[in-house]
Amino acid sequence: MAALPGLPGVYRYFDAQGQLLYVGKARNLKKRVSSYFQKTHDGTRIGHMISKIARMETTVVRSEAEALLLENNLIKALNPKFNILFRDDKSYPYLKITGTRETFRTAGRLPVPSLAFPRMAYYRGAVDRRHSYYGPYPSAWAVKESITLLQKVFRLRTCEDTVFANRTRPCLLYQIKRCSGPCVDLIEMEDYARDVRDAERFLRGETQAVLDALEARMMAHAEKLEFEQAAELRNQMTALSRVLHQQSMDNLSDQDVDVLAVKVQGGRACVNLAMIRGGRHLGDRPYFPAHVEDATQIDTLLEQDAGEEVATRQDPTERVAVKVLEAFIAQHYLGTAMPHTLVTSHPVGKPLLEALSEQTGARVNAVHNPREHRRAWLDMAQTNAGIALARLLSEEGSQQARTRALADALELPDDDLESLRIECFDISHTAGESTQASCVVFEGHKMQNSQYRRYNIEGITPGDDYAAMRQVLLRRYGRIAEALRAEKLAVSAEPPPPLSPSADASPDAAPTSMEQAVEHAQQEAAAAEPAGDLTTVAPAGPRMPDLVLIDGGKGQVSMAREVFEELGLDLSLIVGVEKGEGRKVGLEELVFADGRPKVYLGHDSAALMLVAQIRDEAHRFAITGMRAQRARVRTGGSKLEDIPGVGPKKRARLLQRFGGVRGVAAASVDDLCTVEGISADLADAIYRALH
């Protein structure tokens, strides 16, 4: 500790296996890190974390603001176990208008019609400067609603350029007055360009200016006795006015604002983000952080031990809400464009706002206790946060009850149901074609989509489900079994290194940029992970699931038992889900590989509901993968269709016999001759056509 400087920086704690435990920032590294070990924290979350610390790394930075940004970059990149963590989901959709206004000013009448008449489109991805983007929107529905709105008012096209270039008559959208028909020259380019500019001004919140311009054009047409054109503009103004009155929460004095409301209850938290763009309320999106209790208790204790200023609010719930809100703002707005005004349900610290202002290059304001229309926005966001959190707690409560019921029914350990891990396998194919196996994972009382895996099954007789199950289980658990055997044979483990700061604790050795600091931390974390198939091994070492569900009866369970006996794994982990009488839902029975008698849980059993949920998810995941694989294979089916003498029946026999076009292509002439109806000459023709 003596080697640590009294400078701002970031520290990282690792356990003996190299897993990152915690990332923290400090105005004074020496003072903050020393506070961990000055008191006894037995029985607390911080004590639990300290007992696991085996190694520490520090990085010195220039200011507290830079420390805050680096801390949250590392949290997002490395997913530490004891920090408040929000899922990195910034894939927001945008409304795109192709081309720019500069195009109309400088290019004149463009030679390419599709460029002369920009289109509106739903967009998600990287930004291209040649186009205009508006948003972000909280959901795809919000983008599509805005596109529909703009179609009604400004009649901009939404068709693809290829469709636009090949139209010979206007489409249905023109007939229902949602498009002005530029594809067949029913509007001049200059008039269309004016509509594009009006649409962009509306999206930027300049609604009154658009209305004034439309009114001036309407009066000009009326003075020239062009009443038909004046009526069109009148209808356009009416549609726009109707839109403006649809949302009571709109206010044109605020252009771009994000409204953030936090709700904490039952050990969980929800941050509801409401987006205001161009003065229009576009919708909400809830976010649910992980590790809320651990992180907030650790952080508060450290602030007290280090003698730092603690939030004036003494209500623990309010203190947690502030921590969650600041964590969300720091992680959510890193590296992305953000509005300069935030309306928040709780106060935000000045260091965080200074860091965000430094990042964006403009002052960022956070308004707490707002008034007037901002108060209405915040009240609505708080209501939505409460509704979303109540729904989450209800769902989690039912899932936890189901998990406990299954643990009781199967006599599984129930002291730590949060870590109970269940993996379920299913096989899917169509008459032996495009066989795929799925593995889905249930852990922490919910399905873990990011850990799902699909396996392409090859080298088996098409339609042999038992061989497919054998292959997927060997591939899934072969390396884990090998690692567990090696662990048992190990004579002694490497002693953990003593707790000491790394070399980069010195200012001279610190990374020269924040990006390098994050990259260095990622490399350290990667180096600490065990070698092998990381999709099946937990970061801290190999781990078998607590339960392996097999979608099938005695036959599939017997195959699974053979694989586990071959690998030396525990047979009691295997449970088959066998269809009941008449294959009716609710009559399923559980079949065990270790010789226990079958178990019928009852049609209204919470345990059976969980088993059915996991089994159905495995089936859904397998069948969607199989259909996608089959579609990819059948795109090459035309090669067989183009071969003279190979009709539908012979093609079906070939695909069924060899499992798809790839299998047919890999077959020899002699193998092809074994298929009914395929002569030696035809087999030779097929082989030459596919090679």
- CATH number for 16: 3.40.1440.10
Which pLDDT does position 105 carry in this prediction? 47
* Residues forming a β-bridge with 349: none
User: Do 341 and 270 fall within a single domain?
Assistant: yes
SS3 at position 95: strand
Is 515 inside any structural domain?
Answer: no
User: CB of 295 within 8 A of CB of 323?
Assistant: yes
User: CB of 577 within 8 A of CB of 601?
Assistant: no
Torsion from C-alpha of 674, 676, 679, 683, nearest 10 degrees: -60
User: Do 127 and 165 fall within a single domain?
Assistant: yes
Is 507 inside any structural domain?
Answer: no
- pTM, full prediction: 0.60
Angle between helices 350-360 and 64-78 (to 10 degrees): 80
User: CB of 186 within 8 A of CB of 180?
Assistant: yes
User: Do 316 and 424 fall within a single domain?
Assistant: no
User: Do 645 and 555 fall within a single domain?
Assistant: no
Which pLDDT does position 88 carry in this prediction? 60
Question: How large a percentage of the chain has pLDDT more than 90?
Answer: 11
Which pLDDT does position 506 carry in this prediction? 47
Burial environment of residue 261 by CB neighbours within 10 A (0 to 12, 13 to 18, 19 or more): buried
Spell out, as residue ranges, where the chain has pLDDT lower than 70: 1-2, 38-45, 87-91, 100-114, 239-254, 296-297, 299-314, 335, 491-542, 582-583, 585-586, 629-639, 641-642, 659
Is 661 inside any structural domain?
Answer: yes
User: Do 476 and 583 fall within a single domain?
Assistant: yes
Instruction: Count up the domains in the chain and report the number.
Output: 5
User: Do 441 and 361 fall within a single domain?
Assistant: no
Is 473 inside any structural domain?
Answer: yes
User: Do 351 and 384 fall within a single domain?
Assistant: yes
Strands (DSSP E) along 304-387, which ranges? 341-344, 365-368
Residue-by-residue DSSP string for 384-395: HHHHHHHHHHHH
Q: What share of the chain is helix, strand, coil (3-state, %, to 5)?
A: 50, 15, 35
**What is the domain range of residue 662?**
637-690
User: Do 98 and 210 fall within a single domain?
Assistant: yes
- CATH number for 681: 1.10.150.20
Which residues have a Cβ under 8 Å from the Cβ of 180 and sit 6 or more positions away?
155, 156, 157, 174, 186, 187, 191, 192, 195
Is 402 inside any structural domain?
Answer: no
Residue-by-residue DSSP string for 51-107: TT--EEEEEE-SSHHHHHHHHHHHHHHH--TTS-B--------EEEESS-HHHHHHS
Is 546 inside any structural domain?
Answer: yes
Q: What is the DSSP letter of 544?
A: -
Q: Write the pLDDT tens digit of every residue in 612-637.
A: 899 999 988 888 877 776 655 554 44
- Give me the residue label for tokens 């311009």: 213
Rounded CA separation 667/649 (Å)? 18
User: Do 377 and 423 fall within a single domain?
Assistant: no
Which pLDDT does position 614 carry in this prediction? 92
Which pLDDT does position 558 carry in this prediction? 92
- Residue 374 CA to chain centroid, in angstroms? 30
Which pLDDT does position 246 carry in this prediction? 46
Rounded CA separation 120/639 (Å)? 39
Is 600 inside any structural domain?
Answer: yes
Torsion from C-alpha of 389, 391, 396, 402, nearest 10 degrees: 170
Which pLDDT does position 261 carry in this prediction? 94
Rounded CA separation 300/320 (Å)? 9
Torsion from C-alpha of 591, 593, 596, 597, nearest 10 degrees: 30
* 436: nearest Cα among 410, 411, 387, 472: 472
- CATH number for 598: 3.30.420.340
User: Do 140 and 99 fall within a single domain?
Assistant: yes
Q: Beta strands 132-134 and 94-97: pairing type?
A: antiparallel
- Residue 153 CA to chain centroid, in angstroms? 34
- Domain end point (choices 244, 266, 292): 244
- Domain end point (choices 591, 608, 631): 631
Which pLDDT does position 560 carry in this prediction? 92
Q: Write the pLDDT tens digit of every residue in 239-255.
A: 666 555 444 444 445 57
Rounded CA separation 663/641 (Å)? 16
User: Do 655 and 574 fall within a single domain?
Assistant: no
- CATH number for 321: 3.30.420
Is 83 inside any structural domain?
Answer: no
Rounded CA separation 264/321 (Å)? 6
Which residues have a Cβ under 8 Å from the Cβ of 172 and sit 6 or more positions away?
none
User: Do 386 and 418 fall within a single domain?
Assistant: no
- Domain end point (choices 50, 78, 106): 78
What is each CA distance from 295 to 22, 80, 83, 403, in whole angstroms? 9, 10, 5, 26
Q: Write the pLDDT tens digit of every residue in 19-42.
A: 888 888 888 888 888 877 766 666
